[in-house]
Structure 1
Amino acid sequence: MTNWIEIGNINAIPRRGARCVNTPSGKIAVFRTQEDQIFAMENRCPHRNGPLSEGIVHGASVTCPLHNWVFDLTTGKALGADVGGVRTFPIDVVDGRIFIASEVLAVAAE
């Protein structure tokens, strides 16, 4: 059974924007699409550690602000390049409140 930790409200994240959650091992970017879908992934591009939370959200993708690499918010995979991807994390939204799986914070710390 998954335990969930509330990390904020959907309205705290602008549409097509992101906010970060600090963990012991770094930041997790939490994205909101134009359609109010919520996704979470590592906040660093594998290329030059670009802050993905500062990238452009379009559809269910985000473009790194440093070198325009595009990542699928659902899978974390880089689109159009064979460079791997970034780690994604489970998120749940209930009545506008955003929750992240508690094990994410423990796993992120490893």
Structure 2
Amino acid sequence: MTWIDIGALEDIPRRGARVLRTAQGCVAVFRTADDRVFALDDRCPHRGGPLSEGIVHGDAVTCPLHGLVIGLADGRARDAEGGKVETYPARIEGGRILIDAARLLPEGRAA
């Protein structure tokens, strides 16, 4: 994996998110109440709502448009609507958030 530093953990409030704009689209980077980080497409599979504006609770986020609950670890909807969003490897190292750049670049481009 090719890890890139996208900012300090403290830049994202607990139970909050920030948007990372990439060549492949927007990625929502979430921080949970217990300081874990997750990254997934910032687009709800139901109606395309901005997940980064949703409510983070436990290890999930609720879409602000229609209340679909998405698991942060696997990107899967947790109710009857179904659907899934793409997830991206993310980790914390030395208080900094790192994300795997390989899947954020346009296809055919090396990091």
The separation in 2 between residues aligned to 1:63 and 1:41, in whole angstroms, is: 13
Query: 2:90 aligns to what?
Result: 91
1:79 aligns with 2:78: yes
State TM-score, norm by structure 1: 0.93
Which residue type is aligned with residue 46 of structure 2?
A: H
Structure 1 unpaired stretches of 5+: none
Shift of 1:77: 0.4
SS in 1 for 2:103: helix
State the TM-score, normalized to the length of structure 2.
0.92
1:104 aligns with 2:110: no
**Structure 1 residue aligned with 2:5:** 6
The residue that corresponds to 2:41 in the other structure is 42
More helix by share: 1
2:55 paired residue number:
56
Q: Distance in 1 between matches of 2:101 and 2:79?
A: 32
Q: CA deviation at 1:74?
A: 0.3
Aligned partners of 1:14, 1:51: CA distance in 2, in Å?
Answer: 17
**Moved beyond 4 Å, runs of 4+:** none
Identical columns (%): 53
C-alpha contact (below 8 Å) 2:46/2:83 kept by paired residues? no
- Code of the residue aligned with 1:60 in structure 2: it is D
In 2, the alpha carbon distance for the partners of 1:15 and 1:91 equals 16
Mind listing any 5+ residue stretches in structure 2 that lack a counterpart?
Answer: none
The answer to whether structure 1 residue 29 and structure 2 residue 28 are counterparts is yes
Post-superposition CA distance 1:74-107 (Å, at most 9, x none) = 000000225221111001210110111120212x
CA distance in 1: counterparts of 2:62 and 2:30, whole angstroms: 12
Q: Which moved more, 1:16-25 or 1:53-62?
A: 16-25
Counterpart AA for 1:16: R
How big is the shift at 1:25?
2.3
The answer to which of 54-63 and 77-86 deviates more is: 77-86
